[in-house]
Amino acid sequence: MRKIWISIVMISLALQIQAQESLNKKFGIGGQVGQHQKDFGIGLHITSPYFANQKMAVRLKGNLIWNEHLDSNAETSWSSYSNLSLGFVQSVAEINNFVRLYGEAGTILLFPSSKFSSESLQLGGYGVFGFEFFIDEHINYFFEAGGVGTGAKADKIVGKPIYSNGFLTNVGVRFQF
């Protein structure tokens, strides 16, 4: 009797695993709002179709970010700058055809504002862990958190504070075709 129950449980589990469809791993495009250290930003991204046994993809992101600082009149000012990042995405797990967990890491290129930096480009790296929540086959909301390191300093501001270094978060929506 025990062997029959074990067999029934094993067959049920096997059928459940086979019945689960994989989450969409096609070309994706989306938008995000984020925080790069203390700087707020908005952006767009594109994601390649997944490859390498449907576990990896390439993601290109562009962001417009605002740095809050004191201007030459000692008044609070917001100066915009932008970044471009290219990274690899690694799908780690899928849960109940609803949630995908992933890691992403790559290179980031900053285009600083001449209002707070004498540099025209800053190169660095980033890494995040993310969660995608699929509301249907083609749309998901995501949250990702991690870190960014660029060594960027606002050398035209008193104290030469760093920017776009440290904690990084993004939330957004992604459409997959």
3-state SS of the chain is: CHHHHHHHHHHHHHHHHHHCCCCCCCCEEEEEEEEECCEEEEEEEEECCCECCCCEEEEEEEEEEEEEEECCCCCEEEEEEEEEEEEEEEEEEEECCCEEEEEEEEEEEEECCCCCCCCCCEEEEEEEEEEEEEEECCEEEEEEEEEEECCCECCCCCCCCECCCEEEEEEEEEEEC
Residue 73 and residue 79: Cα distance in Å, rounded? 14
Is residue 36 predicted with pLDDT exceeding 90? yes
Query: Is the per-residue pLDDT at 135 higher than 60?
Result: yes
Does any domain span residue 150?
yes
**Is 16 contained in some domain?**
no
The answer to whether position 136 is within a domain reads yes
How many domains does the chain divide into?
1
**Residue 34 pLDDT greater than 90, yes or no:** yes
> Is residue 13 over pLDDT 70?
no
Mean pLDDT of 142-168: 95
Q: Please check the confidence at residue 22 and state whether its pLDDT lies above 70.
A: yes
Number of other CB atoms surrounding residue 76 within 10 Å: 8
The dihedral region occupied by 160, where left means phi > 0, alpha psi between -120 and 50, and beta the remainder, is left
Instruction: Please check whether residue 13 lies inside any domain of the structure.
Output: no
Residue type, 176: Q
Burial of residue 115 (CB within 10 Å: 0-12, 13-18, 19+) is middle
Identity of the highest mean pLDDT range in 2-11, 42-51, 71-80 = 42-51
> Which range of residues forms the domain containing residue 121?
24-176
% pLDDT > 70, the chain = 90
What is the rounded distance in angstroms from the CA atom of residue 24 to the CA atom of residue 49?
A: 9
Any domain includes 19: no
In angstroms, the CA 47 to CA 25 distance is 9
Overall average pLDDT of the 9-31 stretch: 70
- What average pLDDT score do residues 101-123 get? 97
Q: Does some domain include residue 160?
A: yes
Give the domain CATH number at 38.
2.40.160.20
Q: What percent of the chain has pLDDT over 90?
A: 79
Instruction: Tell which wins on pLDDT, 7 or 155.
Output: 155
Is 2 inside a domain boundary? Answer: no
Examine residue 161 and state whether it is found in any structural domain, yes or no.
yes
pLDDT band at 19 (very low <50, low <70, confident <90, very high): very low
Tokens of 171: 């939330």
State residue 63's pLDDT score: 98
Residue 15 has pLDDT above 70, yes or no: no
Question: Which pLDDT belongs to residue 17?
Answer: 47
pLDDT single digits (tens) 52-108:
999 999 999 999 999 998 887 888 889 999 999 999 999 999 999 899 999 999 999
